Structure 1
Amino acid sequence: MTDNTTNIREVVLDVLLEVLENHNLSHIVLKQALEKYLFLERQDRAFITRCVEGTLEYRIQIDAVLDRFSKVKTAKMKPVIREILRMSVYQILYMERVPDSAVCNEAVKLAKKRKFQGLSGFVNGVLRTVSREKGKLVWKDASERYSIPRWMLSMWEEMYGKETSETIAASFLEERPLTVRFNESISPAEKTIGELRDQGITVEKSGTFPGIASIRGFDYLDRVCAFTEGKITVQDPSSSLAAQMASIAPGDFVLDVCGAPGGKAMHAADLLKGTGMVEARDVSGRKTDLIEENIMRCGFRNIRTNVWDATVLDPSMVEQADVVLADLPCSGLGIIGKKPDIKERMTRDEIKNLAKLQREILSVVTQYVKPGGTLVYSTCTITEEENEENADWIEKHLAFEKKRIADLLPEALKISCEENRIQLLPGLHPCDGFFISVFKKKK
């Protein structure tokens, strides 16, 4: 690590202020910060990433520690001091290579640099107490142990039982390698794997999901040749199942109604092998621009984008699509391991609102499916309101019937499958939490 460690910690502080105090999305803010500081050494960028992500992952637990050892509770602290303490406690508890004394000293320097000289003694005192007492810490419940909101754990306990709910919560704190899907119509997977390894990248093929691998040992994705050449697309294994379950055939017209950033649309285009057409839509130009970036990178000619609000009917599209992919806005509780700030933003009321929005969208976009065509309804969450209940609603209120998917699933997942749907749970399955249900439009 460079000698300029305070500057690195300042980057961490600024990201945390944007996410936890200004409520901006962590993956976007962190990505922007890393792009801004591309000149930093790889180990410094790794420190920034780990410290930000770790502080967000353990925020509930960290606040419990601070509230135990500080006379001023975290809710009453000044925002800058609160985030300096949070990031420092994370380093003390979970970053063994950083000496506690260095953490305390750098935190004091940072407080002074941000014009809080009068509180530097408070910062020093709290952190040295945490350092001294960390070996005696005992978590009072599973919420503190797994750093997950109590209401969320209770909800999962009702759905899946206590043991499974804690397995899910624990999985969100595990390290997650980047997973990619091979665009086989551009380059055979084995050839791409060889090219990745030639670049010094560690590749581990998934034992469960065909066409998926995890990659490690690279600094920046845009410097990975296979990525810039469109031979791989970043996608979680669970998400890759959505297009796979659609039984896409050569020449099909596939409509992805909420397509950003484009993973499922790219997969659909890849499965079409140069035939047919995929139209990927989303609500704003900012979102369709993300899809366009992927199209340009991969070079697919059988895919286009369109800015369209999925709640508004497009009369020109009624009964035109062989396949509609409806991966709809959801609470995202299945991807907390990748976006830990979801724990900060989501509420029970918001989940109910999202389930209602999903039905509003479904009542519109299901009209685009041809008679006999396929609807794939999916989410990256693990709540009954947004998943099973809405799948039941489709069958009850719309002109669709269940479409059997067991034969399309990897062997290891068939045991978790019902007739036309599967709920993947993090910790129980080697992927994000994800729900997929498949329907055929009645003729």
Structure 2
Amino acid sequence: EEAEALCRANNAVPPLTVRTNTLKIDREGLLRRLEAEGMEPRATPYSPWGLILGKAEGLTEGEAFREGLFQVQDEAAQLISWLLGPKPGQRVLDLCAAPGGKTTHMAELMGDEGEIVAVDVSPRKLKLLKENCLRLGLRIVRPRRADATGPLPFRPGSFDRVLADVPCTGLGVLRRHPDAKWRVRPEDPERLSRIQLQILREGARMLKGEGLLLYSTCTLTLEENEGVIEEFLRDGGFELLDPREEFPGLEGLFSPEGFLLTLPHRHGTDGFFAALLRKRG
């Protein structure tokens, strides 16, 4: 029954959700602005920054968009940066960062104070990241073209937080990218899990002692999610954290082990997985 419910949700039209740029406006203020533009916004149930839009025609032509008051981003994706919890003044490494939805959210959470090194291999996507930062008024993001599988051109142990939002089969976002039903092959989860583990290990190498590392995907396969984390933890030097106490009221978004797991048919969001890890000092 659950598999059928997930399939039905993946065949439905997804909502359009935006994230408030809290450096410029609060959510209530943005709601009023988008109401005036005819977008029929309503607050998201989980993210304190999100608005679901009943209408979206002309969204990117409106004044609110041009003023950088919001970023289009699914509610589940908004939870990823929140879970990592970067603080003002910290140095953060964002791997596979472009086009920058989570990068820009972290910059907002940091009050645009500190530094975010945003790594991606695609020049085209890095251009989009730069454009988003400019529109949103963010100054602390340093885009850098590099392969996240490494070796990265940074000093090991020099970052307070690392986000590894790795490439994956994308089976959590089929409702947005239905072509993946025909594109993804049976051998892809295993093949991608090796790349994901390589990126995770490289991110771990960049992290300071006691620093936090967040691994996230937008897929639902065990090989790419729990399997990668289990293999990584065998390396030693890291512990898996259970962040549920830090997010009262959102316990239903987490597994018993403390993994974030959002599902389209349960939560109305895209399907995301995330694991929060701390490096032993």
**TM-score between the two structures when normalised by the length of structure 2:** 0.95
Tell whether 2:244 aligns with 1:406: yes
Corresponding letter in the other structure for 2:161: V
Out of 131, 140, 146, the residue aligned to residue 302 of structure 1 is 140
For 2:125, what is the secondary structure of its paired residue?
A: helix
- Partner of 2:223, secondary structure, is coil
**Does residue 1:192 correspond to 2:30, yes or no?**
yes
User: Aligned match of 2:194 in 349, 356, 366?
Assistant: 356
Q: Partner of 1:166: helix, strand, or coil?
A: helix
Q: Residue 366 of structure 1 corresponds to which residue in structure 2?
A: 204
Alignment of 1:46-125 (within 5 A): none
Paired residues of 2:253 and 2:260 also in contact (CA < 8 A): no
Q: Which residue of 2 aligns with 1:267?
A: 105
By percentage of residues, which structure has more strand?
2
1:234 paired residue number: 72
Contact 1:405-1:419 within 8 A present in 2 as well: no
Query: Could you tell me how far 1:314 is from its partner in structure 2?
Result: 2.3
Query: Secondary structure at 1:317's aligned position in 2?
Result: coil
The reply on whether 1:431 has 2:266 as its aligned counterpart is no
Asked if 1:388 is matched to 2:192, the reply is no
Structure 2 residue corresponding to 1:293, chosen from 98, 112, 131:
131
**SS of residue paired to 1:375:** strand
TM-superposed CA distance for 1:215, in Å, is 1.2
CA distance in 2: counterparts of 1:326 and 1:265, whole angstroms: 11
Q: Is the 8 A contact 1:243 1:268 kept in 2?
A: yes
Q: Is the 8 A contact 2:94 2:116 kept in 1?
A: yes
C-alpha contact 1:218 1:224 (8 A) present in aligned 2:
no
The one-letter amino acid of 1:329's match is P
In the alignment, is the contact (CA less than 8 A) between 1:406 and 1:419 conserved in 2?
no
Correspondence 1:330 to 2:146: no
Letter in 1 for 2:217: T
1:418 is aligned to 2:268: no
Flag the 1:240–1:300 CA change in 2: closer, same or farther, 3 A.
Answer: same
Question: Residue 328 and residue 217 in structure 1: after superposition, are their counterparts in 2 closer, same or farther (change >3 A)?
Answer: same
> Relative to structure 2, which stretch is displaced further, 208-217 or 320-329?
208-217
- Measured after TM superposition, the shift of residue 349 of structure 1 is 0.7
The structure 1 segments of at least 4 consecutive aligned residues displaced by more than 6 Å after TM superposition are: none
Tell me by how many angstroms 1:254 deviates.
1.1
Gaps of 5+ in 2: none
Q: Over residues 173-198 of structure 1, what are the superposed CA-to-partner deviations in whole Å (9 max), with x where a residue is unaligned?
A: 22222001111122111111111111
Q: Does the CA contact (< 8 Å) of 1:401 and 1:439 recur in 2?
A: yes
Aligned equivalents of 1:327, 1:224: Cα separation in 2: 30
* Cα distance change of structure 1 residues 205 and 354 upon mapping to structure 2, 3 Å threshold: same
1:209 and 1:410 in contact (8 A); partners too: no
The 8 Å contact of residues 119 and 143 in structure 2, kept in 1 or not, is answered as yes
Change (3 A) 1:179 1:320: same
Kept after mapping to 1: 8 A contact 2:170/2:218 = yes
Matches within 5 A, 1:20-39: none
CA contact (8 A) 1:244 1:408 kept: no
Per-residue CA deviation, residues 137-190 of structure 1 (Å, 9 max, x unaligned), is: xxxxxxxxxxxxxxxxxxxxxxxxxx1111110101222220011111221111
Find the residue that maps to 2:209 and give its secondary structure: strand
Q: Is residue 375 from structure 1 mapped to residue 213 from structure 2 by the alignment?
A: yes
Contact between 1:313 and 1:365, CA under 8 Å: does it hold in 2?
Answer: no
Are the counterparts in 2 of residues 251 and 276 from structure 1 also a CA contact under 8 Å? yes
Name the SS of the counterpart of 2:47 in structure 1: coil
Do the aligned partners of 2:31 and 2:42 also contact (CA within 8 Å) in 1?
no
| Distance in 2 (alpha carbons) for counterparts of 1:410 and 1:343 | 35
Contact 2:253 2:261 in 1 (8 A): no
1:398 CA drift (Å): 4.2
Larger radius of gyration: 1
How many residues get paired? 281
- Select 1:250's aligned residue among 73, 77, 88: 88
Residue 61 (structure 2) aligns with: 223
Q: Where do 5+ consecutive residues of structure 1 fail to align?
A: 1-162
Identity %: 34
Residues 225, 334 of structure 1: CA spacing in aligned structure 2 closer, same or farther, 3 A cutoff?
same
Calculate the TM-score normalised by the size of structure 1.
0.61
Evaluate the alpha carbon distance shift between residue 376 and residue 415 of structure 1 in structure 2; reply closer, same or farther with a 3 A threshold: closer
1:252 CA drift (Å): 0.9
Note if 1:317 corresponds to 2:155: yes
1:410 CA drift (Å): 5.5
Aligned residues of 1:203 and 1:216 also touching (Cα < 8 A): yes
The residue type paired with residue 108 of structure 2 is: D
SS at 1:318 equivalent: coil
Greater share of residues in helix: 1
SS at match of 1:316: coil
- 1:246-266 superposed Cα distances (whole Å, 9 cap, x missing partner): 121221111101101101001
Check 1:349–1:217 CA distance in 2 against 1; reply closer, same or farther (3 A cut).
same
